[in-house]
Amino acid sequence: MVTLLGTRGSVGRAGPDTVRYGGDTSSISVLGSQGTWLVLDAGSGLLHLSPWVPPEVERIDILLTHLHMDHIQGLGFFPPLRDPDIETHIWGPASTTQRLQERLSRYLSPPLFPVRLRDLQNLSVHDVATDTFTIGEFEISSDLICHPGPTLGFRVVEDGKSLAYLPDHEPALGSIGLPGDPRWTSGFDLLNGADIAIHDAQYTPEEYDERRGWGHSTVEHAVALATQAGVGRLVTFHHDPEHSDDEIDRMLAAVDHGSLAVMPGQAGLELRL
Told to check if 129 binds another protein by CB under 8 A, we report yes
Q: How far is the CB of 133 from another protein (least distance, A)?
A: 13
Closest distance between another protein and the C-beta of residue 118, in Å?
A: 23
* Helix extents (H) in the chain: 100-105, 171-174, 188-191, 205-210, 219-228, 245-253
Q: How far apart are CA 117 and CA 198, in angstroms?
A: 29
Half-sphere CA count of 222, side-chain side, radius 13 A: 37
Report if residue 150 touches another protein, rule: CB under 8 A. Answer: yes
30-45 core/surface letters (b: 16 or more CB in 10 A; e: else): bebeeebbbbbbbbbb
146 near another protein (CB under 8 A): yes
* Three-state SS at 95: coil
- How far is Cα 239 from Cα 22, in angstroms, rounded to an integer? 9
Binding segment toward another protein, per CB under 8 A, in 34-42, 52-60, 70-78, 139-147: 139-147
Task: Select the span of 5-13, 52-60, 61-69, 93-101 touching another protein (CB under 8 A).
Answer: 93-101
- Within 162-201, the residues that bind another protein by CB under 8 A are 173-176, 182-186, 188-189
For strand 123-127 and strand 131-135, is the pairing parallel, antiparallel, or unpaired? unpaired
The site for another protein, by CB under 8 A, has a size of 24
Closest CB to another protein among 153 and 265? 153
**86 or 128: whose CB is closer to another protein?**
128
Identify the residue among 34, 96, 97, 259 touching another protein (CB under 8 A).
96
Regarding 93 and contact with another protein (CB under 8 A), the answer is: yes
Residues 6+ positions from 182 with CB-CB distance below 8 Å: 188, 192, 228, 229
Choose between 145 and 198: whose C-beta lies nearer to another protein: 145
Please count the helices (runs of H) and the strands (runs of E) in the chain: 6, 14
- Residue (6 or 150) nearer to another protein, CB: 150
Length of the chain: 273
CB of 188 to another protein, least distance (A): 5
Residues that bind another protein (CB under 8 A): 93-96, 127, 129-131, 143-146, 150, 173-176, 182-186, 188-189
